[in-house]
Amino acid sequence: MSSLYIYNSLTRQKEKFEPIHAPHVGMYVCGPTVYNDAHIGNVRTFSSFDMICRYLRYSGYIVRYVRNITDAGHLTNDRGEGVNRMESQAKLERLEPMEIVQKYTVGFHQVMALFNTLPPTIEPTATGHLIEQIDLIEQLIKNDFAYEVNGSVYFNVKKYNEQYHYGMLSGRNIDELIAGYRDLDGQEEKKHSIDFALWKKASPEHIMQWRSPWGMGFPGWHLECSAMSTKYLGQEFDIHGGGMDLKFPHHECEIAQNNGSHGHGGAKYWLHTNMLNFDGQKMSKSLGNAILPLEFLSGSHPLLDRGYSPMAIKFLFLQSHYSSELDINIKGLQDAEKGLKRLMDARKLLSNIPLANIKPLTEQTSIDLKIVALCEECKTNMDDDFNTAKTIACLFELSTIVNSLKDGNIQSNQLSVHSVSLLAKTFEDYLIEIFGLKPIEENNHGKLDDVLQVLINIRKEAKIKKDFATSDKIRNELLEKGVQLKDEKDGTVSWSI
């Protein structure tokens, strides 16, 4: 069907993509933990998988795209200890944990829509799949890869490693891992410090707890993805994705749980997206450089000079390969804005060229040949592990030809109808269908700006008359529609989407 090659993190090499049940493709991506707002780094990861899903569909595959919502049992410590993040946030915001889940799930969906990403075909929640998770633990106990201690259940990593290889994905060495945990030996109820929790007994003050064969408790972090990917995609499926930081321990443990329960590791191809940095530093909350999508759009974050459209940010993401680290900075954002405009202008121009005016050529000119070659190269690049960076470079080269056409340096009769329609189709396919981009103008300029200025003026007059109910109503209702007003120090008001 296609000649797609994918870098498989499991085998550490590029492999020809051969789905288990072509033309069907099963893809599982670890979704967000909905205890706070997704930051722009999270958006990069989910946008990358959106592009991957879109390209698979464009290539003719029927994709079942499963992306979960982690709404339970995510502990601050990697090894199944620490505090439950959902609960801490619920206490902080004085809300029910399920109100936290709802609030941040809704927010996550709004952000995903703002970035024009397609929804997954199934979006299962951890709390909606406790029965499947308990079944999985029971199977692991039955297969002697898990044991119960005082109402908690742990995965026996050493036992598993006798039959399988714990570290097959991450390349970690079990002896080194054990040595690293040595200080904790004897302080824990686990058989070995490397063992991870499948189920944790809940102390009475825990708000989120459920009934299980081992008493009241909550599931371990890694369990839900094994349970839900198996349920919706089968014991063996095609693609499992997530950010690079999930490779260990999360994905390593998922593979162990899968092998331990049914003898298959789960996915055939493991894909990992790389991290987003800001000015050279990894974007993270603790460093204070985790910019939220809405802060980007309004420009309200101190690291930004002004607001940027989600499409400019998405274009910046696509200009580098999904598995490369990406440094985001103001210059890059401004260049991305210009670059996207250039490509969208070329697309617009092409869609307006009347093909009837183009004379059919008896033989192809060198420009025709160049166009055909560059259009084919777009596909070759995407087939090479979704190389969006190189594809965009080809589109830029093609836009130079389109601009020469506009400026009259190339006459339309130098081109064949075939190459002009191929050009138009290539811009449409890659920019709109595969990359999921939209022209920035549709959001930011022209009529919309005029309309918003009218509303901004009405709000200003209301404020002068001390009619704060009206001024707040305008601001809040616009915000609900995804338009944020920003009051500047000099009294002017800017807006962003």
The piece of 2-10, 41-49, 127-135, 221-229 that touches ligand AMP (CB under 6 A) is 41-49
Residue 32 near which of ligand AMP, Zn ion, none (CB within 5-8 Å, type-dependent): ligand AMP
What is the closest distance, in whole angstroms, from the C-beta atom of residue 78 to ligand AMP in the complex?
A: 12
- Closest approach, Cβ 252 to ligand AMP, in A, equals 14
**Angle of the 366-383 helix axis to the 388-407 helix axis, nearest 10:** 160
Residue placing its CB nearer to ligand AMP in the complex, 41 or 260: 41
With contacts defined by CB under 6 A, name the span among 37-45, 130-138, 156-164, 466-474 that binds ligand AMP: 37-45
Q: How far is the CB of 330 from ligand AMP (least distance, A)?
A: 18
Q: Does 350 participate in binding Zn ion (rule CB under 5 A)?
A: no
Q: Would you count residue 225 as binding Zn ion (CB under 5 A)?
A: yes
Q: Binding residue for ligand AMP (CB under 6 A) from 4, 6, 27, 30?
A: 30
How near is the Cβ of 408 to ligand AMP at its closest, in Å? 45
Q: Pick the piece of the chain touching Zn ion (CB under 5 A) from 28-36, 148-156, 282-290, 383-391.
A: 28-36
Site for ligand AMP in 224-243 (CB under 6 A): 242-243
Chosen residue from 29, 30, 208, 434 binding Zn ion by CB under 5 A: 30
- Interface with Zn ion (CB under 5 A), residue total 2
Does residue 219 belong to the site contacting ligand AMP (CB under 6 A)?
A: no
Nearer to Zn ion, 225 or 395 (CB): 225
**Rounded least distance, CB 35 to ligand AMP, Å:** 8
225 binds, among ligand AMP, Zn ion, none (CB under 5 to 8 A by kind): Zn ion
Shortest separation between residue 107's beta carbon and ligand AMP, angstroms = 12
Nearest C-alpha neighbor of 149 from the set 209, 222, 207, 215: 215
Stretch that binds ligand AMP, among 30-38, 298-306, 331-339, 477-485 (CB under 6 A): 30-38
Q: How many CB atoms lie within 10 A of CB 151?
A: 15
Q: CB of residue 228 vs Zn ion: minimum separation in angstroms?
A: 9
415 near Zn ion, judged by CB under 5 A: no
Nearest residue to ligand AMP by CB is: 243
HEC string for the chain = CCCCEEEECCCCEEEECCCCECCEEEEEECCCECCCCCCHHHHHHHHHHHHHHHHHHHCCCEEEEEECEECCCCEEECCCEEEEHHHHHHHHHCCCHHHHHHHHHHHHHHHHHHCCCCCCCECCECHHHHHHHHHHHHHHHHCCCEEEECCEEEECHHHHHHHCCCCCCCCCCHHHHHHHCHHHCCCCCCCCCCCEEEEEECCCCCCCCECCCCCCEEECCCHHHHHHHHHHHCCCEEEEEEEHHHHHHHHHHHHHHHHHHHCCCCEEEEEEECCEEECCEECCHHHCCCCCHHHHHHCCCCCCCCCCCHHHHHHHHHCCCCCCCEEECHHHHHHHHHHHHHHHHHHHHHHHCCHHHCCCCCCCCHHHHHHHHHHHHHHHHHHECCCHHHHHHHHHHHHHHHHHHHHCCCCHHHCCHHHHHHHHHHHHHHHHHHCCCCCHHHHHCHHHHHHHHHHHHHHHHHHHCCCHHHHHHHHHHHHHCCCEEEECCCCCEEEEC
The residue (of 225 and 378) whose beta carbon lies closer to Zn ion is 225
Identify which of residues 201 and 314 has a Cβ nearer to ligand AMP in the complex: 314
Stretch that binds ligand AMP, among 9-17, 26-34, 77-85, 213-221 (CB under 6 A): 26-34
Residues 257-276 that bind ligand AMP (CB under 6 A): 275-276
Q: Is 118 exposed, middle or buried (0-12, 13-18, 19+ CB in 10 A)?
A: middle
44 binds ligand AMP (CB under 6 A): yes
Of the candidate spans 15-23, 29-37, 92-100, 287-295, the one that interacts with Zn ion by CB under 5 A turns out to be 29-37
Phi, psi of 271 (to 5 degrees): -115, 135
Both tokens of 161, joined, read: 């490693």
Q: Residue count at the site for ligand AMP (CB under 6 A)?
A: 15
Contact predicate 496/484, CB 8 Å: yes
- Angle formed at CA 80 by CA 77 and CA 84, multiple of 5 degrees: 65
Which positions from 279 through 298 interact with ligand AMP, judged by CB under 6 A? 282-283
Is 32 an interacting residue with respect to ligand AMP (CB under 6 A)? yes
- The answer to whether 66 contacts ligand AMP (rule: CB under 6 A) is no
Q: Which stretch binds Zn ion (CB under 5 A): 218-226, 232-240, 449-457, 486-494?
A: 218-226
Q: Which residues bind ligand AMP (CB under 6 A)?
A: 30, 32-33, 41-42, 44-45, 242-243, 245-246, 275-276, 282-283
Q: Which residues bind Zn ion (CB under 5 A)?
A: 30, 225
